[in-house]
Structure 1
Amino acid sequence: MTESKVLSSLTLANGVTLPNRLMLAPMCDIGSTPDGQVTQEQVDYLRARAGIGGLIVTGYAFVQPNGSSIPGQLGDSKDSDIDGLRKLATAMKSRGNKAILQICHGGREAAGAAQQGLRVVAPTKMTFPWINYPVEEITTDEITTLISDFGKATQRAIDAGFDGIEIHNCNHDLLQQFFSAYSNHRTDEWGGSLEKRAAFPLAVLKEVRRVIAAANKPDFILGWRISPEEIHGENVGYVVDDMLKETKLVLAEGIDYLNISLTGTQYRFDSKPAGHDQTFAQLFKAITPDTVPVFIGSQVHTPEDAEAALADADGVYLARAALIDPEFTDKLKAGKAEEIVTTMSKDRLNNVQLPKALAYGYTMPHGLQEQIPLPGLTD
C-alpha cells in the first residue's frame, strides 16, 4: 500500500502541495469550554491525529456566540480566542501537515446558544417541529454584521497561525439554511430564486477571500464544504442539481478545494443521488476545474476503502477511522496496513486521546453511538 494513490501528493488551487490525499475530517470534538475556548484535551486530541492527512481540519468553530450549535463547540468569535487557537494550530501542524480551521454559524440549529439565552436566528421565522426554543428571522443588518464576522474569524485564523480555513456550508448550518427552499422564504435580496438563496453563502465567501487577499497570504488555503442535497422524506430543501448550480457560482469566485459532506449512515463515499447514474463525487468532479481537488468520504474504514473512494475523487477524508486509530496513516506509510485498528472497544475509547465529553457521548444511551456508530463498539 506504500505506493498507493492515497499516499501520493496533491496540489491545491492556490499552488500549495500536500504530501498525501488524506484529510482529517472536521468533527466536533465537544471538548471546548462553555464559551468555546480551546482546552488542553482538544490540543492533545488533534496532536495525536496530526499525522492523519495532508489537511488536518478542526470541527466547526462558531463566528458569533449565537451561532453555537452544541455545548463544547469550538469558538472563533472574539480576539480572546486567538491564544487558544494558536495552541491548537501548533499541535495540528506538528507533523508538517496543513492546519485548517473550519468556521460556521449554526443558525436555527444553535441549540448551544439557546441554552445560554442568546437570540437564535434563521433566514425565515417559521416553525421547525424538532426545535424546542424560539427562532427569530435574521434581519438585514444582522446579515451584514455576520458577513463581516466571517471575515474577522478568518483574520483570527491567520493571526493564530492556521494554514487555511474551511467554510461550513453544510449539515443544516445557516449558510445551507439560506440556500434551502424549505427554510428560506424571504422576498428580499437574500431569498426567492436559487441565485438569491445562494447570495448569502456567496457573500460570506467573497468577504473571506477579501480578508485573505488583504492579509497578503496567497498560500492561505480556502476550502468549501457542502451537503450535496437536503432531502428528508417529503421535505426537500434542494436536490443535487441545485447544489451543482450553487457550486458553479462558488467556483467562479474561487476556492482551493471542495469538500463534500456525506453525513449519516445512509451515505457511502460511492453513493449516487436519486435519478442519477453517477456518484456524488463524479457529479461534482465534472463541474470542477482540475486545479480544484474534490474530497469525499463516509464509510471509509480501511485503506482499501480510501483507495476505492479515490476512483471518483482527488482526496478522501477520514472521520471515524481517525477516531479509532490515530496512527492509521503512519501504519499505512510504514507498510503495516494490517496493523490498522478498525473497530472500537470500550477500553480503547478511553485510550486514544479523545476529549472526555466525546468519549462519554459514545457511552450514553441514545448518544453518539446511535447517531454515528463506531464499528465494534457495543453496549
Structure 2
Amino acid sequence: MTKYEKLFEPVTFSNGVKAQNRFMLAPMCDDSAENGQVTEQQLEYMKTRAANVGIAVTGYAYVNDSGDQVPGQLSVAHDKDINGLAKLATVMKAGGAKAILQLSHAGCGAGGSVAKGYRVYAPSKLSFPWLDYDVDEMTTADIEQVIRDYAQATKRAIAAGFDGIEIHNCNHDLLQQFFSASANHRNDEWGGSREKRMALPLAIQRAVKKVIAESGNANFILGWRISPQEKHGDEIGYDVDDMFAQTKKVAELGIDYLNISLNLSADYSNSVRPSYDVKVKGTDKSFPEYYRAALRGYCPIYIGSNVLTADDALAAVTDAEGVYVGRELLMDPDFVQKIAEDRPEEIVNTTTIEKLKAVGLPDGFVDNYADKDGSTRVVSYRNGIPLPGLD
C-alpha cells in the first residue's frame, strides 16, 4: 500500500459504468490529423498515453465542416471518418481505459474551415478584430443543422466503438459563444436572457441523449466539459453563477461526468495557486465542492491542469473524483505507471524538443513546443516556463 492508493480506486459514472482508476488523459488537440483523418502518429501517441488511465479523451473533433478550428484537427463530420476513428478507439481501449470522443464546433474561431474554403459563422454578426476572415450570423436553419450535426456525430462515435462522447462546452467554442453575453447579441429564442443563451447547449444535450437512448447502449458515457466563467478584463461573458445555473439544467437532463476546465490564467481567485486548489471567488469552496450542489446527486467531477507530480494528482482528488493529466503525459507517457509502482521520483517533468520526439509525440504536437526559429528549448512548468495551453 502506498500513499497514492486513492488514485487507483475506480470511478463510477452516473450510468453505472466504472473507470479503472481516477486518471483521465486530458483532451488535447495534437494538430496531426490529415484533412480530419486519423494518422498512424496519432494512433501510436494515443496507445501509449491511454495505456494506464481510467478514461482517455481525444482532442476535440469537429462535427461539421464549418467547425474546424485548426489544421490537423480530427473530424467526425462524415461517415468516411468512422473507420479511422474506430482504429483510434481500439488503441485507446487497449489498456482498459474508457475511450471518449470529444465533440466540438469552433464557431467564429474556425480558422481551419476558412483555410478549406468553408463558410464560418457565429451567434451574432460582430466585429472580430483578431480575425482576418468574415464571420456570418447564424440563421435559425444553421442552428437547427448544428444540433443535427451533433446527433450525427454521436451516431458515428457509437459506430466507431467509442465508450462515450464528451461535449466541449468551453474554451470559447460555439456552445460557449452562445452562452456568452459578449458573443451572443441575438433577440430570438437563442439569445437575450441567460435562459435563452443556454438554449443551444441544452438542445444539443437533448439531441445526443436521444441518439444514445435509441442506440440501446445503456453503458455509453456522456461527459460534459465547461469553462466556469468567461471574463475579458472588465467585460463578463458569463460569471460563475451563470455557469452554475446552466450546469443545474444539464444535470436535470443527465450527464455521466463533469469535466471542469481550470487554468491559472483565469481569475478564479485572488491568489495564485495550483489550479486544482482554486477556490470559487468569494467563497471558501473548491470548484468540485461548489458544483456538487448543481449536480443534484452523484456525478463524478474531473479537475486538473498543471498536474506534473504524483502529489499534484493526489491533491486534485481531495474534492474531485478524478484528475485529468495533459502535458505531463506528453512528457512522460509512463507517469501513471510510475505512480502505480511507487516510483514517483522517476517521473520526468522537464523535457526538450528531442525528448518529445523520442517519446512518440506527433509532429503537430512537437511543433507546438518549438521556438519560431525552430530551435530547441527546455520546457518545464516547475522552472517557471509554462508549456502551451494544452489542458
What is the TM-score when the length of structure 1 is the normalising length?
Answer: 0.95
Q: Displacement of 1:378 after TM fit? A: 9.8
| Structure-to-structure mapping, 1:313-332, within 5 angstroms | 313-332=320-339
Is residue 226–residue 259 contact of structure 2 (8 Å, CA) maintained in 1? Answer: yes
Secondary structure at the aligned position of 1:65 is classed as: coil
- Which amino acid in structure 1 is aligned with residue 261 of structure 2? S
Task: Quote the Cα distance in structure 1 between the aligned partners of 2:245 and 2:4.
Answer: 37
Q: Displacement of 1:364 after TM fit? A: 2.9
Report the equivalent of 1:36: 36
Tell me whether 1:284 sits opposite 2:285 in the alignment. no
Report the equivalent of 1:21: 22
Mark the runs of 5 or more structure 2 residues left unpaired by the alignment: 267-273
Task: Quote the Cα distance in structure 1 between the aligned partners of 2:197 and 2:386.
Answer: 43
- Which amino acid in structure 1 is aligned with residue 190 of structure 2? W
Secondary structure at the aligned position of 2:277 is classed as: coil
Task: Quote the Cα distance in structure 2 between the aligned partners of 1:346 and 1:120.
Answer: 34
Q: Displacement of 1:3 after TM fit? A: 5.0
Q: Displacement of 1:116 after TM fit? A: 1.7
Farther-moved stretch of structure 1 (50-59 vs 271-280): 271-280
Report the equivalent of 1:361: 368
Task: Quote the Cα distance in structure 2 between the aligned partners of 1:205 and 1:170.
Answer: 14
Is residue 4–residue 310 contact of structure 2 (8 Å, CA) maintained in 1? Answer: no
Change (3 A) 1:49 1:336: same
Q: Displacement of 1:199 after TM fit? A: 0.3
Task: Quote the Cα distance in structure 2 between the aligned partners of 1:219 and 1:346.
Answer: 40
Farther-moved stretch of structure 1 (256-265 vs 313-322): 256-265
Task: Quote the Cα distance in structure 2 between the aligned partners of 1:170 and 1:366.
Answer: 32
Task: Quote the Cα distance in structure 1 between the aligned partners of 2:80 and 2:159.
Answer: 12
| Structure-to-structure mapping, 1:41-190, within 5 angstroms | 41-190=41-190
Tell me whether 1:334 sits opposite 2:341 in the alignment. yes
1:58-93 CA-partner distances (Å, limit 9, x unpaired): 000000011000000011000000000001000101
- Which amino acid in structure 1 is aligned with residue 12 of structure 2? T
Farther-moved stretch of structure 1 (221-230 vs 121-130): 121-130
Change (3 A) 1:378 1:322: closer
Q: Displacement of 1:132 after TM fit? A: 1.8
Mark the runs of 5 or more structure 1 residues left unpaired by the alignment: none
Identity across matched positions, percent: 50
Task: Quote the Cα distance in structure 2 between the aligned partners of 1:59 and 1:151.
Answer: 18
Task: Quote the Cα distance in structure 2 between the aligned partners of 1:134 and 1:275.
Answer: 40
Q: Displacement of 1:236 after TM fit? A: 1.1
1:247-277 CA-partner distances (Å, limit 9, x unpaired): 0000000000000011455571112243333
Task: Quote the Cα distance in structure 1 between the aligned partners of 2:243 and 2:173.
Answer: 15
Q: Displacement of 1:10 after TM fit? A: 1.0
Change (3 A) 1:264 1:37: farther
Report the equivalent of 2:5: 4
What is the TM-score when the length of structure 2 is the normalising length?
Answer: 0.92
Secondary structure at the aligned position of 2:231 is classed as: strand
1:148-170 CA-partner distances (Å, limit 9, x unpaired): 11010000000000000000000
Secondary structure at the aligned position of 1:291 is classed as: coil
Tell me whether 1:233 sits opposite 2:195 in the alignment. no
Aligned residues: 376
Secondary structure at the aligned position of 2:66 is classed as: helix
Is residue 4–residue 314 contact of structure 2 (8 Å, CA) maintained in 1? Answer: no
Is residue 52–residue 322 contact of structure 1 (8 Å, CA) maintained in 2? Answer: no
1:297-347 CA-partner distances (Å, limit 9, x unpaired): 111111101111111211110011111111111111112222111212232
Q: CA RMSD in A?
A: 2.0
Change (3 A) 1:149 1:327: same
Task: Quote the Cα distance in structure 2 between the aligned partners of 1:280 and 1:180.
Answer: 20
- Which amino acid in structure 2 is aligned with residue 87 of structure 1? K
Report the equivalent of 2:358: 351
Report the equivalent of 2:270: none
Is residue 353–residue 366 contact of structure 2 (8 Å, CA) maintained in 1? Answer: no
Report the equivalent of 1:252: 252
- Which amino acid in structure 2 is aligned with residue 81 of structure 1? D
Change (3 A) 1:378 1:206: closer
Task: Quote the Cα distance in structure 1 between the aligned partners of 2:204 and 2:373.
Answer: 35
Q: Displacement of 1:366 after TM fit? A: 9.7
